[in-house]
Amino acid sequence: MASDLFHPYLLGGGERRMYEIARRLARRHEVHVLTRRFRGLPSYELHEGVHIHRVFVPSGRIKLESPTDGLVFTAGTLLKGMRPDDFDVYAPQQFFPIPPLWLSACAREKIIVPTIHDVYRETWTQKYGLKGVLMSLFEKIILRLPYSKVITVSNSTKRKLMRELPEEKIEVIPNGVDLKLYEGPAKKASRPRIVYVGRLVGYKHVDDLLLAFSKLPAESQLFVVGDGPEMGRLRSLSEKLGLGKRVVFTGFVKEEEKISILKSSHVLVLPSSTEGFGIVVLEAWASGTIPVVSNIPALTELVQDGESGMVFRLHDVSQLTQKLKQVLEEDSLREELVKEGEKRVRNFDWEIIAKKHEEIFKSLLG
């Protein structure tokens, strides 16, 4: 397997997915993961049965949008992927790890099954200009390579992939959650508490959440859990809106603290314009917390308005404010949504998800 990030840096749903699947497959199989090496980390580590091989990158730190780091990581992954180990399956996830492991698999005539979480072509072009055009071209080349199978996380992403890949090559396996970590009652904060969990990047639109939150009663709280290039701008916006101590920017936190914040919160907000799945929705359900999400396909595939959460129009700050007030003020609605979320999340246990991966690998190996 290969991923840009892996243990101990599980910053997004993609890294979390590979980590949870790898350590479960390692109970029955030999699993190796290639990932980037950052300062202070060893080049090799055995963790929960998984052999982690870290590849040098020039910056030595998390810098996912760096072409230099990406190309060096790709070259290093190719060198490590070509070593004479007798692997049966090559299973990278997007983006930089896919070409080197594809070449390694082809050279040995082995199974190649990448996981592609989403197609970002339009997003990259709009956000990064010329660099975005190059990233979009890189993505298009990746999507046109011949694979044994391609795993994706939602039907909405499958529809995007079908522009480049035949439908029979695509398998949908959703993301999951470790339900054991969420056992026990969820003790909610005494004050209305809202939480955002994820990277602080432009397409997550946390600024829309801050604007909506500024219109809520003064006793409400907002926890922004995560880090990223938008941190400084979001802090400035919070100050400009006069939110003061009502907003807590936690930065990156460990899994235990993230779960504690989720279980103490009443509402999770995910205002993104781009998501392949939305793993934090599952974590909210498992925490007895109500997801309020933007109306993009991947999120509405999970959350139905007024049934398993609330849905608002992307960038419609007024509607987001109205949905938040409705959930926080109507006790009976909140109780119904919590019950439905707890019921649905049982189908997304990581044990089930890992087993589905194993079944696909075994079927391809005959």
Percent of the chain scoring above 70 in pLDDT: 97
Q: Which residue has the higher pLDDT, 363 or 64?
A: 363
Question: Would the CA dihedral through 252, 320, 123, 353 be positive or negative?
Answer: positive
pTM: 0.86
Nearest to 136 by CA among 103, 164, 115, 173: 164
pLDDT of residue 64: 66
Instruction: Give CA angle at 100 (366, 57), nearest 5°.
Output: 135
pLDDT band at 29 (very low <50, low <70, confident <90, very high): very high
pLDDT by residue (tens digit) across 276-290? Answer: 888 999 999 999 999
Mean pLDDT in the chain?
A: 92
Domain membership of residue 215 as a residue range: 179-347
Tell me, yes or no, whether 62 and 155 share the same domain.
yes
Tell me the C-alpha distance between 149 and 359, whole Å.
12
In a domain, 8, yes or no: no
- In the chain, the number of structural domains is 2
In a domain, 3, yes or no: no
What is the Cα 280 distance to its own chain's centre?
Answer: 8
Q: Which residue has the higher pLDDT, 128 or 242?
A: 242
pLDDT by residue (tens digit) across 139-169? Answer: 889 999 999 999 999 999 999 999 999 999 9
Please provide the DSSP assignment of 286-352 as one string: HTT-EEEEE--HHHHTT--BTTTBEEE-TT-HHHHHHHHHHHHH-HHHHHHHHHHHHHHGGGGBHHH
In a domain, 172, yes or no: yes
- The phi, psi pair for 107, rounded to 5°, reads -60, -30
In a domain, 119, yes or no: yes
pLDDT of residue 130: 72
Provide the CATH number for the domain around residue 236: 3.40.50.2000
- Token couple for 272: 């993104």
pLDDT of residue 126: 66
pLDDT of residue 128: 67
- Token couple for 275: 């998501």
